[in-house]
Structure 1
Amino acid sequence: MDKTTYPWRGLFVGAGLCAALAAIEPHVKMRLHTNGLCTDYINAGAVLFLFLLALALGPLRALTGRKWLDVPDLAVVFAMLAVACTIPSHGLLAPLLTLVTGASYYATPHNHFEEWILQRLPDWLLVRGEAARFFYEKLPPSEPFPVSAWIQPAIAWTILIAAVFLAQISLAALFYEPWARHERLAFPLVRLPAEMVRSAEDRGSRRPGHLLRDPIFWAGVALTFFIAGSRGLAFYHPETPTLPKISSWLAFFNGTTRILVTFSFVIVGFSYLLNTRVLLSIWFFHLLMKVVSGALILHGVALEGENEPWGGSTLLATHLNGGSMIALVLFGVWTAREHLARVLRDAWRGGH
């Protein structure tokens, strides 16, 4: 890329928004105890920040007479925010902080954490002793923050996490060509941000582009904001009137299996962006798994052991889901075999 067109402004704006996202998410989750901006896989925080940024660009240009961010800048901003969404919450820090401090804090003679975990791991990998206790029980006002107890674990885990992120980005780049050009995957989670980026591009007027001028779009935003906002107010002020949630469990096979029937704006929006054949497949195989699980339970077929908290309806369903994911990965590698072989040959020969 030519240095004169490199999106430096997008990098600076993206860095600032990533820092804001990293500061807001822990406050929302730990102090307000509500759904966070980075909780699930939809990158809600990245989409929200990009939406507000795209919305502000039109008035900014009208006031200053200059174009602040181009399409490449906005694309870089969203890419940075999408990656940042994986860090401050359930994607990384929430389980990592528990992993680093929990073994020491929850160690008792009964669970044998001391001899089974703490004695087998190096000191620089975990936060131990008083520093771990302060993390859970609050730092006393007169006590300085135990920086020395956190430096080595932070450095060690940062090196590993950076390597994992680099591997994930490299794999995504490696499989981009077969996914996007050969299989023509739709990437539905990127369609809305891409449309926002295009809408923010000035098209001869000083107003936002097509999407942000669409009355149907704003009707959907207003409806969703009204319902979600009223429920948010009711969470803190129970006297606030709000619409009841549409949610019910339907039991089948003598109550051995259940199906959740609910309404979700997120699922409605995501379904709109998906191919109908993919939607039908998800719906059909979900029902099929429920039927198979219920029938197996009625016939006394079950696996021994404890099911995963976020697994399937039964332990058998969880294992079937895991096997399906392995098969999907292997199928993806097989369909991309020619591209992967070409990449390996080019890498071995030093080609481009």
Structure 2
Amino acid sequence: MEQYQNMLNRSNDGVTLRAILIGFVMIPVNVYLVVQWESVWGAQYPTTMAIFFNAVFCLMFAVIANFAIKKIIKRHALNQRELLTIYIILIMSITVSGHDFSQSLFCTLGTSKWFATPENEWQSLFWRYVPSWLSVNDDKVLRGFYEGESTIFNISHIKGWLKPMLWWTFFLTVITFVTICINVIIRKQWIEREKLTYPLTQLPYEMTRMDSFRSFYGNRLLLIGFCVALCIG
């Protein structure tokens, strides 16, 4: 627990411009893969796991690349707090784009219109309660979304999705900001008074310790476990 307390007592030199830029560069690839895995292919569901394996893989890649940079040009190498900043940016973006967040929301924006039939009487039951600016109601636009064989790069599709997407994006942004504020409020109680250990943070913390790089990544048990997981996966 002392190691986390020491990090809190230091200045926020980990939130640097270069760390933020590197994190932002990694966001599109990670978000794209998460959406493809979970909503399109249905092959993997990383955002339903305790630790997002794609974020851990990106962190490992960044740490190894940083170790090589440190050997060549030491002054340009990232410190541990910068690496953790990159990891935090990734897991936050993956969370927002994940299966239990925006994916479930955006996939239902046209449900009330597309799946309405004379038998279920959805039109008379609750259509009037669904604001047009929060849902997609154009049959042609919905046909391309639910039946496929179409693309978003169509002016009519963009017009149909733009307004509800902007409103829901604003709502999700507010929700995310509120959760971060709640974290700030309860931080002192949980970390300094109750001294919770947060086991999920142990892995990225140990991965980014440059002083124990060789002992961590050269650990035989770690390598065996990695190979076994790779073979099973």
Q: TM-score range by the shorter chain?
A: 0.7 to 0.9
1:95-154 CA-partner distances (Å, limit 9, x unpaired): 11222121111111122222233222221100112212211112547x925111111101
1:46-85 CA-partner distances (Å, limit 9, x unpaired): 2221122212222233355553321121111111112112
TM-score of the pair, normalised by structure 1:
0.57
Is the CA contact 2:51–2:200 (under 8 Å) kept in the aligned structure 1? Answer: yes
Per the alignment, residue 157 of structure 1 pairs with 168
| CA root-mean-square deviation | 2.4
Per the alignment, residue 70 of structure 1 pairs with 79
1:38-77 counterparts in 2 under 5 A? 38-64=47-73, 66-77=75-86
1:303-318 counterparts in 2 under 5 A? none
Is the CA contact 1:7–1:72 (under 8 Å) kept in the aligned structure 2? Answer: no
Is the CA contact 1:11–1:76 (under 8 Å) kept in the aligned structure 2? Answer: yes
Alignment pair present for 1:220 and 2:230: no
Structure 2 residue identity aligned to 1:74? L
1:196-235 counterparts in 2 under 5 A? 196-198=207-209, 201=210, 203=211, 208-228=213-233
Structure 2 residue identity aligned to 1:208? F
Is the CA contact 1:100–1:126 (under 8 Å) kept in the aligned structure 2? Answer: yes
- From the superposition, tell whether residues 5 and 188 of structure 1 become closer, same or farther in structure 2 (CA, over 3 Å): closer
Structure 1 residue identity aligned to 2:78? L
Is the CA contact 1:8–1:73 (under 8 Å) kept in the aligned structure 2? Answer: no
1:335-346 counterparts in 2 under 5 A? none
Alignment pair present for 1:189 and 2:200: yes
Is the CA contact 1:57–1:208 (under 8 Å) kept in the aligned structure 2? Answer: no
Larger radius of gyration: 1
In the alignment, the residues of structure 2 paired with residue 116 and residue 139 of structure 1 have an alpha-carbon distance, to the nearest angstrom, of 31
Is the CA contact 1:29–1:35 (under 8 Å) kept in the aligned structure 2? Answer: yes
In the alignment, the residues of structure 1 paired with residue 191 and residue 202 of structure 2 have an alpha-carbon distance, to the nearest angstrom, of 13
In the alignment, the residues of structure 1 paired with residue 93 and residue 191 of structure 2 have an alpha-carbon distance, to the nearest angstrom, of 23
Is the CA contact 2:14–2:82 (under 8 Å) kept in the aligned structure 1? Answer: no
Is the CA contact 2:14–2:79 (under 8 Å) kept in the aligned structure 1? Answer: no
Structure 2 residue identity aligned to 1:196? M
Is the CA contact 2:59–2:87 (under 8 Å) kept in the aligned structure 1? Answer: yes
1:198-347 counterparts in 2 under 5 A? 198=209, 201=210, 203=211, 208-228=213-233
In the alignment, the residues of structure 1 paired with residue 31 and residue 44 of structure 2 have an alpha-carbon distance, to the nearest angstrom, of 15
Per the alignment, residue 4 of structure 2 pairs with none
Alignment pair present for 1:125 and 2:130: no
Structure 1 residue identity aligned to 2:104? P
Structure 1 residue identity aligned to 2:178? A
Per the alignment, residue 89 of structure 2 pairs with 80
Alignment pair present for 1:135 and 2:135: no
TM-score of the pair, normalised by structure 2:
0.84
Is the CA contact 1:38–1:45 (under 8 Å) kept in the aligned structure 2? Answer: no
Per the alignment, residue 147 of structure 1 pairs with 158
Structure 1 unmatched runs, 5+: 229-352
Structure 1 residue identity aligned to 2:123? E
Is the CA contact 2:95–2:101 (under 8 Å) kept in the aligned structure 1? Answer: yes
Per the alignment, residue 179 of structure 2 pairs with 168
- Count the aligned residue pairs: 221
Structure 2 unmatched runs, 5+: 1-9
Is the CA contact 2:46–2:54 (under 8 Å) kept in the aligned structure 1? Answer: yes
- Indicate the SS of the match to 1:208: helix
- From the superposition, tell whether residues 211 and 137 of structure 1 become closer, same or farther in structure 2 (CA, over 3 Å): same
- From the superposition, tell whether residues 211 and 162 of structure 1 become closer, same or farther in structure 2 (CA, over 3 Å): same
- From the superposition, tell whether residues 25 and 197 of structure 1 become closer, same or farther in structure 2 (CA, over 3 Å): same
In the alignment, the residues of structure 2 paired with residue 209 and residue 66 of structure 1 have an alpha-carbon distance, to the nearest angstrom, of 20
Q: Percent identity?
A: 20
Considering Cα pairs closer than 8 Å and 6+ residues apart, tell me whether 1 or 2 has the greater RCO.
2
